[in-house]
Amino acid sequence: MAFSRTFSPRPKLPLKPLACWLAISLTAACLPASLSRQLKDQGRSLLAPGQRLAWSALKSLRRWGLVWQDRGDRAVELAELRQRVRRLDEINQALQANIARQQFNVSPDTEQPLPLLGARAIETRVLGEQSQVFLERTAIVAAAEMGRVTPGGMAIDAGATLVDSGENASLSASGLALIGGRVWGKVVEVCPQTASVRRVNSAGYRGLAQIVDRVSQAGRPLAQGVVEGTGDTLCRIRMVDARSPISVGDLVVALEERALTDAPLIYGRITRAELTPGAAHWELWMEPAVADELPQTLTILQPRINEERIAQKNSPTHDQR
Amino acid sequence: MSKWLFILPAVYVAAVLNNVVSPFLQVRGVSPDFLALAAALSGLCAPGAAGLAAAGLAGALADIVAPGRLGVSMALWALVGLALSATRKLTDRRPLAQTLAACGAVSGMLFLASIARGLLGEQSWSLAAFASGSAAAGLYGAALALPCCWLLDRFGRLRKAAY
């Protein structure tokens, strides 16, 4: 009796169910990617009703102020909203100028309209160190040397590259600087005759980006995030949801100029993808698509209103229809 | 086995919580993994095959929700669930010991899954990040597991008293 109290037999391990389960797992791991994706979609659709219920519960809690919003989500939301406001401001200004000149005669149109926005590609020369030194001697002043400030002088960002076009070529800040279809940087400051362009991998660079599948030809979008320059060779991509199926080699394209160009503008390729257990976001590093050397020329992309569309609206043939 | 069927809806709720609520509970970049926690608790509560099935099912749902191929968490979590189930006599009716076991199990499950995904080339290899992330998620899991273990213990005692 005493023996039965102190000694408890070792629990029998369910080896057969374990072997079955491991076999099922191995089969699932060996499934082709397309089938695996289908199964995942099916599984997620099973979770959808529960998630809808949970979201509605969360919304009511948020209405009563009982739930705070994730700071990461807020940062992305804020960046997107700022971008949208800037774009809308530009469109509004252009439209107001057009309205002042012409009067609209709106009629229903069943034809596919031309795009409202287009892009103006401005070719600029990159100023080398010699040219910059020369400009500093003549017109450009450093912020520290306040005694040498002269009217009409230009302040330059020391960490940025200088190009030889500015307000004279109607450049505006935040226009993307390209080499071919690849993003080299972004205009950060515009002076009367020059502009400063910050490289993608320079510290302080930020831009909205989309990660697209490297496998599919159509470039299936996987996630959105914020590209950040680190001052090093590689850039970081932040705020990418941990549930997004990212892998090394996926392409990163610019999201800011999406409506302006037909082809995607490429930031680079993901070279490192880490998912720390329990983290809400991926830790991603991207290699820029452009080489490290200073280019001779850069193409600055500037949004513009499609004049053809405005002209089409106001043309006599359009009025007759 | 049939009396452990309540684990199925519990795992489903854990998956929903993981997708919807978990990002709101993020502390210093670490969010709780409700699915791993459900797998650990079911391993601690259910015996033998039931614990294995529950933890494996939670792993399968984790595979469905997470990026990467299926079957990785499904296999590894089932093994950890089975290990918990086999040693549950050591922690039975001791909520603090159960919490510690849950902490270790959650950390272990997440760490093993990360290692496996790193080996499969689905993500870049970073042992330190895997270990620290798993440990942080395990500690977070323990903080959530403590009230759950205490409640399960109270519920077990009440049920025994009723009989």
How high is the ipTM of this complex?
0.86
Most confident segment among A138-152, A179-193, B131-145: B131-145
Tell me which amino acid residue A124 is: T
In this complex, which of B113, B124, B137 lies closest to A272 when CB atoms are compared?
B124
Q: Does the beta-carbon distance from A70 to B24 stay under 8 Å?
A: yes
The answer to whether residue B26 neighbours chain A at the CB level (below 8 Å) is yes
Q: Is the pLDDT of residue A143 over 50?
A: no
pLDDT at position A321: 45
- Closest approach of chain A CAs to the CA of B96, in angstroms? 23
**Between A2 and A307, the higher pLDDT residue:** A307
Listed by number, the residues of chain B in 67-126 with a beta carbon closer than 8 Å to a beta carbon of chain A are 67-72, 74-75, 78-79, 82, 85-86, 89, 110-111, 113-114, 117, 121-124, 126
Distance CA A253, CA A264 (A): 6
Chain B residues close to A281, C-beta within 8 Å: 29
Residue type, A249: G
- B63 and A22 within 8 Å at the Cβ level: the answer is no
Residue A217's pLDDT is: 55
Q: What residue has token string 């949801």?
A: A241
Half-sphere exposure in the Cβ direction for B109 (13 Å, CA):
39
Residues in Cβ contact with A114 at an 8 Å cutoff, skipping those fewer than 6 apart: A306, A308, A309, A312
Q: Judge contact between B86 and B44, C-beta under 8 A.
A: no
The pTM of this model reads 0.67
- Residue A235 pLDDT class (50, 70, 90 cuts): very high
Residue A317's SS3 state is: helix
> In this complex, which of B69, B122, B134 lies closest to A277 when CB atoms are compared?
B134
Q: Which amino acid is at A121?
A: A
A-chain CB neighbours of B22 within 8 Å are: 280
Amino acid identity of A274?
E
B72 pLDDT above the threshold of 90: yes
Type of residue numbered A13? L
Q: How far apart are CA A222 and CA A229, in angstroms?
A: 21
| Mean predicted lDDT score pLDDT of chain A | 77
SS3 sequence of B57-106: HHHHHHHHHCCCCCCHHHHHHHHHHHHHHHCHHHHCCCHHHHHHHHHHHH
% of chain A beyond a pLDDT of 90: 11
- B59 pLDDT tier (thresholds 50, 70, 90): very high
How far apart CA B76 and CA A188 sit, in angstroms, is 50
Residues 6+ apart with CB under 8 A from A86: A174
Cross-chain residue pair A50–B123, CB shorter than 8 Å = no
Q: CB distance A277–B72 less than 8 Å? A: no
Percent of chain A with pLDDT over 70: 73
Pick from A50, A70, A277: CB nearest B12: A50
Here the tokens at position B17 are 């919580």
The burial of B47, by beta-carbon neighbours within 10 Å (0-12 exposed, 13-18 middle, 19 or more buried), is given as: middle
pLDDT tens digits along A49-58: 898 898 888 8
- For residue range A263-316, list pLDDT tens digits in order: 788 899 999 888 888 888 888 999 999 887 888 888 888 887 777 777 766 665
Burial of A44 (0-12, 13-18, 19+ CB in 10 A): middle
What residues pair up with B55 in beta bridges, in sequence order?
Answer: none
Question: DSSP letter at A119?
Answer: E
The first and second tokens of residue B103, run together, are: 């902490």
Residue-averaged pLDDT of chain B: 87
Cβ under 8 Å to B: A residues 42-71: 43-44, 47, 50-51, 53-55, 58, 67-70
* Residue A125 and residue A297 in contact, taking contact as beta carbons nearer than 8 Å: yes
